[in-house]
Structure 1
Amino acid sequence: MRTSLFCLLALGLISTASAQQAKWYKGNTHTHSLWSDGNDFPDMITDWYKQHGYDFLAISDHNVLQAKEVWMSVPAIEKRRRVLGKTTVDKYLERFGKEWVTTREKDGVTEVRLKKLEEYRPKFEEPGKFLIIQAEEITAGIGKLPIHLNAVNLQEEIAPVKDLATIPEVIRANLQLVNEQAKRLGVPMLSHVNHPNFRWALSAEDLAAVVEDQFWEIYNGHPTINYPGDASRMGHEKIWDVANTLRITEYKAPPLYGVGTDDSHKYHGEENGPGRGWVMVRAASLDPAEIVKAMKAGDFYASSGVTLDDVSFKDGELRIRIHGEPGVTYRTEIRGTLPGYDATTRPAPPVAGDLHPPRLLYSDDIGKTLATIEGEEIVWKPSGKELYFRAVITSSKPYEKPSFPGQMQMAWTQPMGWKK
């Protein structure tokens, strides 16, 4: 029954919404706290997301779950700030009071205990209103080349597998650890590959080859993720289209689904702050298992500012209804790859110090623009021959703190039409 449901969802014949009267839930699956390299307390971060309209949050610190005794000195905490004003600890005390904040003196220095997830979860969670999902950024790599994956709804801390012979082997080995834990514990989990262009670490070919992977970050709000690419290295849009085309044609595998995230580390007014990228998940309820289930069915979209009231592909038509803002215009591009596409490649110009040579560049036939539609109501009928198609919605509203020059608010649907 589960397989049949997935096939119908892929075809667009039904949706989890129509089957279960689902709702849209806004969430972030990638952000950091003082537990690793963030600069604020996890309960302060959770409070920010709840106060700003999010329905769920997964704080994903590097190679750690918030489940043990950790103390941090006040000087070490304050060293992570880059802006003036109230100190991190003062803001913490002002928000929650001395009864909540646990401190001690050690060797003449004040230390603050970081709250465990089990401690602060009851303070914020509300059934149907706000959910915290446990997560970890599994931080692996090969030498200086970073290979990061987020494991969402993880129950036990995972030590990363590093320094195998190839990038796909490292990704696959860490995915297997998450999948094995999910199977052993009977808990649904998902993993997404993070920021491929961070230090230009991963290629489209890497993402295509690991057919066990179902998710990756189409948008990550960190200012060093190199979303547009450059003359030698593909941007995120092209990476997605090349990876999906290779997966469908060469690997006979489903395409990747795209996630939007913050990857926030800074919470005191710095550029890498929260609220930059997220997912909107259409799920039966605000429950970790239902969120994971809906995302695995592709019933979600990624956003950096644009909200969709509805997106569906059924009866042979793609329909999108954009939640418009006064004075803002919207352009939707339908992108995809057609049969008989130009599959030729050419070597990319080499870049000094590149961690991932050699690189290939692909023809414009891959991920070509099939249609461009202006306005808030989108109705488009594919030919049915497309290997896949997806929609990219761009608004005329600039991004408040851009990650790359000229950035506008956007949204991305998942690939459709690939299951014939």
Structure 2
Amino acid sequence: MIPSAFTAPGRFYRGNLHTHSTLSDGILDPAEVCRRYKAEGYDFIALTDHFVGVYNYPLADTVPFRDDAFTTILGAELHSGAMENGELWHILAVGLPADFAPSNSPAFVPVEGQETGPELAQRARDAGAFVAVAHPQWSGMSLADARSIEAAHAVEIYNHGCAMGCDRADGAFYADLLLSEGRDLTLIATDDAHFSEPDHFGGWVMVKSEENTPEALLEALKRGDFYSSQGPELRHVEVSDKAMTVQCSAVSSVIVQGHGSAATAVHGASLTQAEVPLGRFFNSPWLRVTVLDRAGKRAWSNPMPNPAYKMPKK
């Protein structure tokens, strides 16, 4: 079996799905944010300012910054309701319509009578957005919180702003437990850039699409036709009932992860191909791969079914 990111027609386009501007708490205006990402070689971004009343519920119009080499997807970071720790939800929504109705979220604290986070996430998905659970480690999210966002397409496995600002960048704990409960989820790496600290150009998605257009990219994201990276390239992934074969840019480790403690790594110097045996994964319905280069940068595949997994008999 070959994941769709490596069989779909088209080419890979590099994009950031989580970015802020002066429309909320970023320090650069939308035009300059787009200019910088384009100058750094990105093919697209989603400008996702905080969708709260204190900023007048901004949904940035980035259409004027599109051209033949660079595009944008409309989006926002949505907030409403309280998580178990009493703090406001943060939900990433990429591909929102320009007239998406605001929630009753006047500021960054929960108020009586507003939508819950799960309700807001579902409304965004129903409106056509690609929905992700944003920075769950940074948020102090409980597993019950994560379970409740049933509308999510993805979990942020890496958030560069959270890495640089508080060393809470990881979403793998949440994603892996949800996968083991049967959830169909993908994994995204993002910047969460505000440009107030070194929070930019550190994590991105590589989306396989026939066109670098908002519509084509959004549909590819929803299909899972992408991988995420801090630098390394995934060039091919193929899985049989005995092994996973990975082709990539030069890395020092290729690691396959699955349910529970199941993980197997192959280490070497300047690896561009590795075959990872799957003997430890008999009890895992899902698999995913991480590659790690000698500078410590990672790339992550999306989860895929394990062809060797046998459903337990009742």
TM-score (norm 1): 0.62
Kindly state the Cα deviation for residue 191 of structure 1 after the two structures are TM-superposed: 0.9
Within the candidate set 118, 137, 142, 1:172 is matched to 118
1:241 touches 1:367 (CA, 8 Å); kept in 2? no
2:25 is the alignment partner of 1:45: no
Root-mean-square deviation (CA, aligned residues, Å) is 2.8
Larger radius of gyration: 1
Name the SS for the 1:311 alignment partner: strand
Q: Which structure 2 residues correspond to residues 5-404 of structure 1 after superposition, within 5 A?
A: 12=1, 15=4, 18-19=7-8, 21-63=9-51, 64-66=57-59, 116-118=61-63, 120-121=64-65, 124-126=66-68, 129-142=69-82, 144-155=86-97, 156-160=99-103, 163=110, 170-182=116-128, 189-200=129-140, 202-222=141-161, 223-224=164-165, 226-227=167-168, 236-245=171-180, 247-248=181-182, 253-254=183-184, 256-266=185-195, 270-272=197-199, 274-313=200-239, 317-324=243-250, 329-337=251-259, 366-374=260-268, 375-382=271-278, 385=282, 386-397=284-295
SS at match of 1:58: strand
The alignment partner of 2:80 has SS state of strand
Q: Pick closer, same or farther for the CA change 1:311–1:283 going to 2, 3 Å.
A: farther
Residues 392 and 227 of structure 1: is their aligned pair in 2 closer, same or farther, counting only changes over 3 Å? farther
Taking a change above 3 Å as real, the CA distance of residues 289 and 221 of structure 1, as seen in their structure-2 partners, is: same
Q: Give me the whole-angstrom Cα distance separating, in 2, the residues matched to 1:16 and 1:305.
A: 17
SS in 2 for 1:392: strand
**Structure 1 Cα separation of the partners of residues 166 and 261 of structure 2:** 21
Q: 1:389 to 1:14 in 2, by over 3 A?
A: closer
CA spacing shift, 1:334–1:13, aligned 2, 3 Å: closer
Q: Give the secondary-structure state (helix, strand or coil) at the position aligned to 2:172.
A: helix
User: Residue 205 of structure 2 aligns to a residue in which SS?
Assistant: strand
Deviation, 1:285, is 1.8
Deviation larger for 409-418 or 256-265: 409-418
Instruction: Please tell me the residue identity of whatever aligns with 2:299.
Output: A
Partner of 1:92: none
The separation in 1 between residues aligned to 2:203 and 2:248, in whole angstroms, is 17
Q: What is the identity, as a one-letter code, of the residue corresponding to 1:173?
A: E
Seen in structure 2, the aligned counterparts of structure 1 residues 381 and 154 have a Cα distance that, compared at 3 Å, is same
Report the alpha carbon displacement of residue 65 of structure 1 after superposing the two structures with TM: 3.6
Counterpart CA distance in 1 for 2:122 and 2:13 is: 28
> Secondary structure of the residue that 2:211 maps to in structure 1?
coil
Residue pair 1:61, 1:136 contacting (<8 A) in 2 also: yes
Quickly say closer, same or farther: Cα 1:377–1:218, change in 2 above 3 A: same
Q: For 1:292 and 1:198, locate their aligned partners in 2 and report how far apart those are by CA, in whole Å.
A: 26
- Does the 8 A contact of 1:55 with 1:131 survive in 2? yes
CA spacing shift, 1:206–1:57, aligned 2, 3 Å:
same
Task: Return the alpha-carbon distance in structure 1 between the equivalents of residues 306 and 89 of structure 2.
Answer: 28
CA, structure 1 residues 66+160, in 2 after alignment: closer, same or farther (shift >3 Å)?
closer
Cα offsets for 1:87-134 (capped at 9, x unmatched): xxxxxxxxxxxxxxxxxxxxxxxxxxxxx534x32xx421xx311111
Cα-to-partner distance string for 1:214-256 (whole Å, 9 max, x where unaligned): 211000011345437xxxxxx53323222221x22xxxx42x2
Deviation at 1:211, TM superposition (A): 3.1
Instruction: Report the number of matched residues.
Output: 288
- Cα distance in 2, alignment partners of residues 60 and 415 from structure 1: 25
Is contact 1:195-1:220 (8 Å) kept? yes
TM-score (norm 2): 0.81
Structure 1: runs of 5 or more not aligned: 1-11, 68-115, 183-188, 229-234, 338-365, 398-407
C-alpha distance 295-369 of structure 1, shift in aligned 2 (>3 A): same
